[in-house]
């Protein structure tokens, strides 16, 4: 183990260590949080919760937003709003962090994993449409998986890495079969698809404010929608489904998924800086793009012409045959230089946790998983640190060519 791998939680990083991604706290966070502490408004109601919801709804272009304790709980509630029930199936990206698939299981339903396209690493709409058209049966009211006989109830595309999924073909097929689209935009706050903000395009969208996200509340989430009934239901379900707060009468099995005012205060301060954060991320991407373009075997992240990417994560693909080094060797080599990098997630159709889920073959995701490496890209990454990452990468690529690493 090297210094980059050994970091214990809470321990100060070794001198010169460059982390993959860390929060940027440089706005009104302290003063807003202090105000909550000074006024005793620390818990689950308060003006910052309302303000944070308003700010995120505005950004997503939706009428309503409901703050939640994290992004996973927002996804869970979104699935319930979409009418997903026990033993339904939900189509979801296979190349993603595990949370959306877990949320499908929390609702008692089954994920059907869809492969990624290799250009932008997003859910492949062609594969999704192909599955719906060829492997499902439509009786005019309900769509069923021919193989399992289960109802296919919703589509959950996950916008990964700050870049959108190509949504139009998905929206079209969802309309044809009357299926709600739940956008997992947890990695996509501030990104746009054909000019529209992610999260606000499907029936319901979800965000995360986990520590590695483009803005953070330490932990937190948000559900956005234009559907007034769904928004009210989301508020109800996330606050223990309370019908009478004095007599403690509850009309359904609810959840304690509220975000505290304290954390929402931090969220408001972070939202004020979102545009600056996006600019910083895009500048980092540009600098990497210029400096790494000539390294053989390195495919740099692309921005589709229909996309505005935040480059939340800067993920390169390493072709070992051309680079002379594979992604995991590069990870180790960079770690030896105090630089933290990470692969993408194990595609979920391979995950032991989801071995009962259905999937078609997903070969593209498996290749992407093998080749991907995310480079340091914190909003506050200094020019000096960025140059150091570039230097170590460039030198090791040169050595790779001559076999002298
Ligand atoms: C794609 C994706 N979906 C869902 C989540 C879950 O969000 P949270 O950690 O806030 O529960 C995350 C990240 O954490 C994510 O990256």
If residue 134 lies in a helix (H) or strand (E), which one and from where to where?
A: helix 125-135
Report the separation in Å between the CA atom of 209 and the middle of ligand 1, taken as the mean of its atom positions.
8
Residue with tokens 């259905």: 358
Give the model's confidence band at 220: pLDDT under 50 very low, under 70 low, under 90 confident, else very high: very high
Report the separation in Å between the CA atom of 248 and the middle of ligand 1, taken as the mean of its atom positions.
32
Residue with tokens 């009104």: 28
| Spatial distance between the Cα atoms of 114 and 97, rounded to a whole number of angstroms | 14
Report the separation in Å between the CA atom of 72 and the middle of ligand 1, taken as the mean of its atom positions.
6
Task: Tell whether ligand 1 has an atom less than 6 A from the beta carbon of residue 70.
Answer: yes
E-strand ranges in 166-266 read: 182-184, 192-193, 196-197, 204-208, 221-225, 242-244, 249-250
When mean pLDDT is compared across 10-14, 67-71, 124-128, the lowest value belongs to 10-14
| Spatial distance between the Cα atoms of 242 and 185, rounded to a whole number of angstroms | 28
| Spatial distance between the Cα atoms of 35 and 289, rounded to a whole number of angstroms | 42
Please give the share of the chain, as a percent, with pLDDT higher than 90. Answer: 91
pLDDT, tens digit (0-9, with 9 covering 90-100), for 149-186: 999 999 999 999 999 999 999 999 999 999 999 999 99
| 403 has pLDDT over 80 | no
| 10 has pLDDT over 90 | no
The pTM for the full model equals 0.96
Report the separation in Å between the CA atom of 147 and the middle of ligand 1, taken as the mean of its atom positions.
30
Phi, psi of 206 (to 5 degrees): -130, 140
Q: What does the pLDDT read at residue 356?
A: 76
Task: Tell whether ligand 1 has an atom less than 6 A from the beta carbon of residue 167.
Answer: no
| 51 has pLDDT over 50 | yes
Q: What does the pLDDT read at residue 90?
A: 98
For ligand 1, mutation pick of 69, 97, 162, 346 (most atoms within 8 Å of CB): 97
| 357 has pLDDT over 70 | no
The answer for residues whose C-beta is within 8 angstroms of residue 234's C-beta and 6 or more apart is 66, 77, 78, 81, 223, 225
| 367 has pLDDT over 70 | yes
If residue 384 lies in a helix (H) or strand (E), which one and from where to where?
A: helix 383-402
For ligand 1, mutation pick of 121, 160, 187, 312 (most atoms within 8 Å of CB): 187
Task: Tell whether ligand 1 has an atom less than 6 A from the beta carbon of residue 97.
Answer: yes
| Residue 221 and residue 67 in contact, taking contact as beta carbons nearer than 8 Å | yes
- For residue 74, the ligand 1 atom closest to its alpha carbon is 11
E-strand ranges in 34-151 read: 64-68, 89-93, 110-114, 136-138, 143-145
Q: Other C-beta atoms within 10 Å of 282: how many?
A: 16
Task: Tell whether ligand 1 has an atom less than 6 A from the beta carbon of residue 157.
Answer: no
Q: Which residues does residue 33 pair with via DSSP β-bridges, in sequence order?
A: none
Q: Are strands 136-138 and 143-145 parallel, antiparallel or unpaired?
A: antiparallel
For ligand 1, mutation pick of 186, 207, 315 (most atoms within 8 Å of CB): 186
pLDDT, tens digit (0-9, with 9 covering 90-100), for 22-44: 999 999 999 999 999 999 999 98
Half-sphere exposure of 2 (CA within 13 A, CB side): 13
Q: What does the pLDDT read at residue 77?
A: 98
Phi, psi of 267 (to 5 degrees): -60, -40
- For residue 75, the ligand 1 atom closest to its alpha carbon is 4
Q: What does the pLDDT read at residue 391?
A: 96
What mean pLDDT comes out for the span 384-404?
A: 83
């Amino acid at each position: 183990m090297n210094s980059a791998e050994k970091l214990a939680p809470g321990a100060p990083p070794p001198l010169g260590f460059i982390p993959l991604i860390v929060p940027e706290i440089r706005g009104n966070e302290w003063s807003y949080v202090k105000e909550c502490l000074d006024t005793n408004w620390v818990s689950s109601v308060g003006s910052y919760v309302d303000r944070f919801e308003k700010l995120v709804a505005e950004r997503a272009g939706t009428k309503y937003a409901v703050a939640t304790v994290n992004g996973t709980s927002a996804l869970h509630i979104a699935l319930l709003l979409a009418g997903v029930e026990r033993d339904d199936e939900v189509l979801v990206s296979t190349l993603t962090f595990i949370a959306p698939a877990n949320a499908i299981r929390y609702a008692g339903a089954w994920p059907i994993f869809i492969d990624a396209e290799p250009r932008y690493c997003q859910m492949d709409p062609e594969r999704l449409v192909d599955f719906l058209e060829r492997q499902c049966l439509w009786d005019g009211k309900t769509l069923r998986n021919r193989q399992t006989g289960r109802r296919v109830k919703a589509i959950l595309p996950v916008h990964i890495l700050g870049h959108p999924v190509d949504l139009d073909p998905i929206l079209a097929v969802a309309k044809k079969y009357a299926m709600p689209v739940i956008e997992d935009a947890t990695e996509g706050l501030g990104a746009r698809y054909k000019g529209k903000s992610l999260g606000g395009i499907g029936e319901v969208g979800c965000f995360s404010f986990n520590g590695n996200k483009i803005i953070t509340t330490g932990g937190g989430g948000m559900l956005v929608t234009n559907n007034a009934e769904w928004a009210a239901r989301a508020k109800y379900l996330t606050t223990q489904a309370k019908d009478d707060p004095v007599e403690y009468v509850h009309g359904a099995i609810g959840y304690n998924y509220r975000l505290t005012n304290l954390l929402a205060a931090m969220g408001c301060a972070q939202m004020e800086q979102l545009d600056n954060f996006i600019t910083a991320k895009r500048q980092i991407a540009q600098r990497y793009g210029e400096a790494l373009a000539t390294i053989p075997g390195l495919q740099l992240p692309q921005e589709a012409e229909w996309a505005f990417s935040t480059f939340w994560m800067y993920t390169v693909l390493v072709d070992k045959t051309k680079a002379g080094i594979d992604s995991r060797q590069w990870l180790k080599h960079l770690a030896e230089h105090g630089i933290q990098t990470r692969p993408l997630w194990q595609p979920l159709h391979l995950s032991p946790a989801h071995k009962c889920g259905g999937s078609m073959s997903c070969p593209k995701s498996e290749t992407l998983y093998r080749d991907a490496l995310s480079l340091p890209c914190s909003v506050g990454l200094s020019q000096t640190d960025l140059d150091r990452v570039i230097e170590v990468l460039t030198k090791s690529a040169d050595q790779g060519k001559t076999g002298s690493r």
